[in-house]
Amino acid sequence: MYGSLQNSILSIIQNTPAPAISMSVTELFYTDRLTYTITRVSKSGKTFWMKRSDSFGGDFETRVYFSQPKSKWISKGGRTVLVGIHDPYTDPTF
């Protein structure tokens, strides 16, 4: 349960820096965490695009937006994204 408990705690972090190109980000799954790099930021600063930091992601970009009601960054898949944090984790039990 290390991953899911820690990810639950991480998902409530609200004070994250403004996104900038080449900044690290971490997407939270139930127990795993994947790391990405920001490739583009919108003019408004409320949307950015990211690519996987490892070789498994290919050239695909994922769009991330800032959710005003939740006060956090949300990926296209609905998962929490932490800006400025590079913290990969793969749960070995799955």
C-alpha distance from residue 94 to each of 33, 62, 85, 87, 91 (Å): 13, 24, 24, 19, 6
**Confidence band (pLDDT; 50, 70, 90) for 15?**
low
Please give the model's pTM, rounded to 2 decimal places: 0.84
Contact 74, 62 (CB under 8 A): no
In angstroms, rounded to a whole number, what is the distance separating the alpha carbons of residues 31 and 91? 6
Domain boundaries, the chain: 2-83
Over residues 23-58, the pLDDT tens digits come to 999 999 988 999 999 999 999 999 999 999 876 766
